[in-house]
Structure formats: C-alpha cells, structure tokens
Amino acid sequence: MSYRLYYWTGLQGRGEFVRLCLEDVAAPYVDVAREDGDEVMNAFLDGEEAGALPFAPPFLTSGRLVIAQVANILQYLGPRHGLVPDSESARLYANQLQLTVTDLVAEVHDTHHPVASGLYYKDQRDEAKRRAKDFRENRIPKFLGYFEKALSRGGGKHPLRTHSYVDLSLFQVMAGLDYAFPKAMAKQKLPLLRDLAKRVADRPHVAAYLASDRRVPFNTNGIFRHYPELDG
Amino acid sequence: MSYRLYYWTGLQGRGEFVRLCLEDVAAPYVDVAREDGDEVMNAFLDGEEAGALPFAPPFLTSGRLVIAQVANILQYLGPRHGLVPDSESARLYANQLQLTVTDLVAEVHDTHHPVASGLYYKDQRDEAKRRAKDFRENRIPKFLGYFEKALSRGGGKHPLRTHSYVDLSLFQVMAGLDYAFPKAMAKQKLPLLRDLAKRVADRPHVAAYLASDRRVPFNTNGIFRHYPELDG
C-alpha cells in the first residue's frame, strides 16, 4: 500500500519534513499534488472527504486514515519504519523535540511574514527586518543551542541515541537556515548539529533523494527564504 | 502518585491547557512553581535533571518521565484519564486538532509580540496593531471556522464525538479570545463552539476550578492579553 502525501507544489515547505522520512526509509508514496495539481487538496480541506479534517497541508493518507500536522504525521510514520525507538519515554521525547522544531519553523516563517501570511513580503519588509534581527541575534542561538545540548545529552550523535525522524528534521532545519541566513549561520558554533546534518545527508536514500529532481531547490516561496536584507 | 506541573507563576499561559485536564479529571498534582517559585524550573531547563530536556515551560513530571510541549503532555494524559477515545484514528485526530490549537495560540501571542518576545509590548505596538488587525479579520475566522466545522462533523457536541482534552482546550481558546478581543469575538457566529465552551465550563470539576483561586485571572502577562487598541 502506498502513502499519499498532499502538499503545495513548487516549494519544500512543511511537506519536506514528511518527504525526508518517506525517502529515508524508501517508503512507497505518491506526492499527489505534484502529479495532479494543488486543487486535488481542496476536497479534503473543504470537508468532502471522510476521516480527519485537515486545517492545512501537509496531510498524508494511509489507507482510510487522513493525518495532518507534521509532528503528527511523523509520530505515525516513526514506529512503522524504525524511525523512533520503542520506549514510551523516547517516543515522548521525540515528539517533544519535533514540536520544538515546529515552533522554530513557525518563527522562521514569521521572519519574512511578521504581519500577515496573506500579504506580500514587500508589504511587510520593515517589520520583517526588525523581526529577523531578533531572530538572528536571539532565537537562532536559543533554538540551535538547545538542539546542540540535546545532542550532547544523547551521546553526541543523535538526541535519541539512535537515528530517528528528529535527526531528519534537524538536517532540514540546518539546510534551511544555511540557505536563508548564511551570514548569521556562519557565526554559530554548532559542531554536533553540523556533524549530524552531514551524516544525515550522507545516508544512502537521503543522498539519492537530495540529488534527484524530487528535491525542489530552496526558493522564496517556501518557509526558508533568502532575502539578503534579513540576514544582517 | 502525584504529577508535578512546572509553569510560570502569575499567568495562565500555555500551562493552563494542562491544568484544565488535570482539574477536569481531579488528578492529584502539584503546581510546583506556584509553591516554590519559578526558579525551581531552572534545574530542568539547564539540563541538570535526568530525562527529557525541556526547551521551555510548561513541563510535567510523572514518576521518572519529564514531558514538555503542551500537545505532548495532553497526549500523555489523555489515555490515562479517559480524555481521548481508544482508536488510533481518533487519537491521531485529537493530536492534530490540538496542534492546530497550538498554532492558534502562537499566533495569539504574536498579536502583542510580533517583533520579539524579549521586547516590551510598548516597543512593538505599531507592528502589533497591524498584526492584530489581520488576526481579527482573517485568522480568527479561519481558525474558529475550522473548529466549528470540526464540531459539526463530529455531530455538533464534540469534535471527537465524545468529551476529550481537545474540548477543554477549545474552551480555553474561546475564554482567552473573549477576554483579549471582545469586540472582534462579538462579530463571530460560532454556535457550536459557544455551546461547547458553556458545557465545558459547567462540568463539575471545571466549574469548581474556575471558581477557585487556582484559576489565575486573565491578565496582560499571559498569552491572551486585552489591549483595547488591538481589538479594533
């Protein structure tokens, strides 16, 4: 049985955290909107499909299940594909770390859209400059310092002491921040996160995915956007 | 065995979503910082305690487990106290709905802190006015319209067809938004959410809690803040 992933075409966005899991374990999946167009998601979002009602993409279908919210999807996939340890304490911790990634990703989005998602960036550029300055100076060190500490606590290689979906998400966070804020990121000392990101990128299925045309390049439609004026 | 809840004193904040669950089921718990001061949280946040490393309060300890992130805590408490149905599909849906509450709560916070959590409100009031206008006009209708539709889909009384931690959180969202944005909320037509909020407030343990001094009144230190200039 094949998973069906629903997410906006043309950008990595939040869908990428799910895609990296599916690719890492070579799970069969259809990237539905990329095959049939974004409008295939409307029936779900409008409540015309059975099952859970998604608030927004990404969502995944697995048989009759409809599963939305990235951390929820990863928590579903993790145990099925060996992407999270078995113990309750480790699963709770994985989910907690993933929800902290979720919080960081929302803050990244708001560096370029601090006023309204529905307005263009150019119409909130002044506010974005202020917010991005705080993000670079305070939030990047706080979040990445936290994950660095979590890695150290897990023995240095993995926050959960073994490969998990959290590792894949931390790779994506580092890749995205390096793209969006290269100057700010060059100032961070994050040896464990840097090493983790490299090890994830070298995993055979991940490396093949990153080299494929399924990996949409970062661009200024996604969550991680490079606007030089926001990088200080 | 008693749970130990760790959250900032003097405000409801994100801790309130956990507190409402514990109170609704009359679970024994100690509200640790309220007894011993906020500094008791530092040992956990600084990594000096065993178990999962929290990024921020609230966190809950249950025996040796340390559990942070509101949706993660509720997902832990839910099955233990009959606050979520048994089926996998219902639990995934509950978590998905709760994560959408999380997203909404973050947006509420950013109506008064659109630039930086570390700055005073008065130093970002202009940006706050712009962000709050969009929040009132677009985000409140979108989020609450979604939850109204989820209620309708669940038969009108509960999104999960039975009482759950999601109901308790939706009560808190409605109470908080009514406090912070009374004029904007008066314009919303949300019969199912209004009815749900009333039924939750009338649950015996919840009613007793709301009438007690354990329920800190809403104030301008919390997530939900009433600044008239942000209510249009």
Question: Over the stretch A76-118, which tens digit does the pLDDT of each residue have?
Answer: 999 999 999 999 999 999 999 999 999 999 999 999 999 999 9
Measured between CA atoms, the residue of chain A closest to residue B134 is A116
Write out chain B residues lying below 8 Å of A53, CB-based.
146, 149-150, 153
Which CATH superfamily is B3-80 part of?
Glutaredoxin (3.40.30.10)
Asked if A149's CB is within 8 angstroms of B69's CB, the reply is no
**What confidence tens digit (pLDDT) does each residue in A16-37 have?**
999 999 999 999 999 999 999 9
- pLDDT (0 to 100) of residue B96: 98
**Tokens 């001061």 label which residue?**
B37
Asked if B51's CB is within 8 angstroms of A96's CB, the reply is no
Whether the predicted pLDDT of A38 surpasses 90: yes
Cα–Cα distance for residue pair B54/B68, rounded to 1 Å: 6
- pLDDT (0 to 100) of residue A80: 98
pLDDT band at B140 (very low <50, low <70, confident <90, very high): very high
Q: What is the mean pLDDT of residues A133-150?
A: 98
**Do A3-80 and A88-203 have matching folds?**
no
Whether the predicted pLDDT of A195 surpasses 80: yes
Q: What ipTM was reported for this prediction?
A: 0.98
- Chain B residues at the A interface, defined by Cβ less than 8 Å, are 47, 51-55, 64-65, 67-69, 71-72, 75-76, 88-89, 92-93, 95-96, 99-100, 102-103, 106, 110, 114-116, 118-119, 124, 127, 130-131, 134, 138, 143, 146, 149-150, 153
Mention every residue, 6+ apart, whose C-beta is less than 8 A from residue B11: B216, B219, B221, B222, B223
Write the residue in B52, B103, B146 that is nearest to A96 by C-beta.
B52
Asked if B153's CB is within 8 angstroms of A96's CB, the reply is no
Euclidean distance between the first and the last CA atom of chain A, given in angstroms as a whole number: 48
Most A CBs within 10 Å, among B92, B111, B151, to test the A interface: B92
What CATH code is assigned to A88-203?
1.20.1050.10
pLDDT band at A1 (very low <50, low <70, confident <90, very high): confident
Domain positions in chain A are 3-80, 88-203
Nearest to A167 by CA among A224, A75, A84, A96: A84
Cα–Cα distance for residue pair A216/A39, rounded to 1 Å: 19
In CATH terms, B88-202+225-230 corresponds, of 1.20.1050.10, 3.90.1300.10, 3.10.20.30, 3.40.50.300, to: 1.20.1050.10
User: How does DSSP assign B61-128, residue by residue?
Assistant: EETTEEEESHHHHHHHHHHHTT-S-SSHHHHHHHHHHHHHHHHHHHHHHHHH-SS-TTS-GGGGHHHH
Cα–Cα distance for residue pair A231/A108, rounded to 1 Å: 12
Write out chain A residues lying below 8 Å of B124, CB-based.
130
Average pLDDT, chain A: 98
The amino acid that residue B139 corresponds to is: R
